[in-house]
Structure 1
């Protein structure tokens, strides 16, 4: 079993569960298929599982490490964003929504995605490779955001919280819109959701 599934904290875990999306952070593994770093690039992307009939052997030495996510909401919580090549339409929509939701940076439509990736990287992981989190009122969060309840990552959807697992979501938990707690999804991505990007979510619950 390979350590190539990504949880909402952005950590790489081992599980027999299959993912609905693939991702990339560069070459993270060695010749024995062991993970030896958390990332190689600041471009953390989310890709489709199949593209133009390309075939890959997972964790081939010297090739980028294939990562897998339960759904797109999980990928966003970890700090990934749509790939320019295999998800061009989603990439363009995300960039447009990100710019609309984050005017404080003064970027125009011509800004390089590398500039946005720099901001995302500061929001996703710190210098000790730990997840960056922040506090917010749950009622202010859009569908697709991830929060922490009793140390468990939970998806926010229709004013309920759904506990995450690699296999799917558990039964919903009622949350108060006035309750304040820890948010996992990077702040600028939350603002992109509010500006119109709707992440793919795997429901119903397991």
Structure 2
């Protein structure tokens, strides 16, 4: 019998979907389970983090489909987790967490606590109706490591990297598009505070 994939993979839009593709990072938004063990809510806690695949909160085993336990989520890579609004875990990814906070200080002039960052990030990634919050900016002002969408492909996330736009999928990135004006307005789906951090610190500084 072929086992169906669990609904626990996260897209750059922050959506939780089911796919056979594996992730390179694990994440947490609290207990998202319904009584029958299925995922029934997009988040419970404002502390959205990205962890190593071996990490488990408070040293507990990673559990699946278990109400009352946190729901393990998975990301294709670091930039996908950041676009969804997850910051690095201060426990299992301390160097990345420290780099994230340092970038916050460079970008915004203060070095907040984890709780303060989580409060600000939550407001930046979700609007009052619970929808993904985006903003518009000229493509030339968007740093590497950020995801955008265009008017012609509103359901496809493109990673900005080295002057190209790379279409995202769970299976990997497609061929980049280069013939896009740097003045063209794009809808940015990576939360604004994280975009500010990536302007202050290159993405490789957040993935030690």
> Normalized against structure 2, the TM-score is what?
0.88
**2:199 equivalent to 1:198:** no
Aligned partner of 2:42 in structure 1 is 38
How far did residue 199 of structure 1 move? 5.1
**2:49 equivalent to 1:48:** no
Q: Distance in 1 between matches of 2:202 and 2:60?
A: 28
Unmatched 5+ residue regions in structure 1?
202-206
Aligned partner of 1:94 in structure 2 is 100
> Which range moved further: 30-39 or 73-82?
30-39
Residue 122 to residue 199, structure 1, CA distance change in 2 (3 Å)? farther
Residue 195 to residue 173, structure 1, CA distance change in 2 (3 Å)? same
Residue 83 to residue 64, structure 1, CA distance change in 2 (3 Å)? same
Q: Deviations over 1:88-111 (max 9, x none)?
A: 1110110110121123xxx3x3x3
> Which range moved further: 134-143 or 50-59?
50-59
Aligned partner of 2:81 in structure 1 is 75
Q: Distance in 2 between matches of 1:145 and 1:200?
A: 14
Cα RMSD between the aligned structures? Answer: 1.9
Is the CA contact 1:148–1:181 (under 8 Å) kept in the aligned structure 2? yes
Count of residue pairs the alignment pairs up: 196
Unmatched 5+ residue regions in structure 2?
none
How far did residue 30 of structure 1 move? 2.2
How far did residue 127 of structure 1 move? 2.4
Is the CA contact 1:28–1:40 (under 8 Å) kept in the aligned structure 2? yes
Is the CA contact 1:159–1:177 (under 8 Å) kept in the aligned structure 2? no
Which of residues 3, 21, 27 in structure 2 aligns to 1:23?
Answer: 27
Residue 115 to residue 51, structure 1, CA distance change in 2 (3 Å)? closer
